[in-house]
Copies of this chain bind each other. A is one copy, B any other.
């Protein structure tokens, strides 16, 4: 019984991904000139219902930062939440890929930013050369705290981006969980975005994320930047294969639904320990040190969240028995 609730980022690889990897092991052109890589644009366009250009990348950090680097000048800025992954967990990668552009941090409930906060930031700036001017907005769908942006929230932010001439990036490391949670179309969950980092690794993939551009000019830049960042793998067919398998027959949503359901199960047992409404596959609980100790003694693994809390993260393959056991253990605390 896998009693791991640390993260979805190291979970096992889904059998369909394995089969696709295996099937991809036939001679083909190198880099992204193989048939699988060349099929990505169409496959994702069909999924999202609009033309797009898709580049694979090995990590979400690379996908996010390639997107941002295509959107902003080195002297520009990216508006994002203070708790965004690009700010807090990517080792300064945005600064590297963008050559020093500034993350301009704003606050908002559950790691979601609001049009009002964006507008306030923009209003506070003089726009002269002494201050960094924002050139893009990045939102995380689902957010770092497991919340989702409703379609109308995304649209409102996109409208603001257009109004101020800013690019819009959606960090969708857990985009599947968001879409599964919202029950909307993929486009509705990111409508107006110029680029979407479409997560696969956390959702049963091995080593591929899709960087989906709805703006061809940005993709042209990102293509050069990907090579320049050492991310153009010569056997790229193995990355494309994962992505195609992930979106085939809605595997991505099926996996996300399983993870979300496990999270809901845990949430249901948590009562007023819940720190944030659970809308994806992360459950943030108030848990004192002693309580965390009790759960860990029973074999459950998870990270701390400050001194008095913990995030429980479920995955596509969270063991139902373990989930049940953990839910019960929490209820017993």
Contact = CB atoms under 8 A, between A and B. Distances in A.
A259 interface: no
B207 A96 contact: no
Nearest to A66: B230
B59 A234 contact: yes
A48 B92 CA distance: 33
A88 B126 CA distance: 11
A130 interface: yes
Interface centre among A28, A88, A230 (most CB of B within 10 A): A230
Interface string A13-45: 100001001100111111100100000000000
A75 interface: yes
B235 A206 contact: yes
Given A100-B95, A129-B224, A130-B89, A201 B234 contact: yes
Interface in A83-110: 88-93, 95-102
Contacts of A98: 100
A260 interface: no
Interface centre among A4, A93, A223 (most CB of B within 10 A): A93
A221 to B, nearest CB: 7
Interface string A236-255: 01110000000000000000
Given A59-B230, A97-B230, A207-B233, A129 B27 contact: no
A161 interface: no
Contact of A58 (B93, B130, B233): B233
A296 interface: no
B25 A88 contact: no
Contacts of A226: 129
Given A10-B235, A206-B238, A61 B230 contact: yes
Contact of A129 (B9, B132, B227, B235): B227
A255 to B, nearest CB: 15
A113 interface: no
Nearest to A69: B74
A326 to B, nearest CB: 15
A62 interface: yes
Contacts of A75: 91-92, 96, 221, 224-225, 228
A7 interface: yes
Contacts of A77: 92
A57 interface: yes
7 contacts: A9-B235, A21-B21, A59-B233, A75-B96, A95-B100, A95-B228, A206-B238
Closest 3 CB pairs of A and B: A62-B230, A95-B100, A91-B227
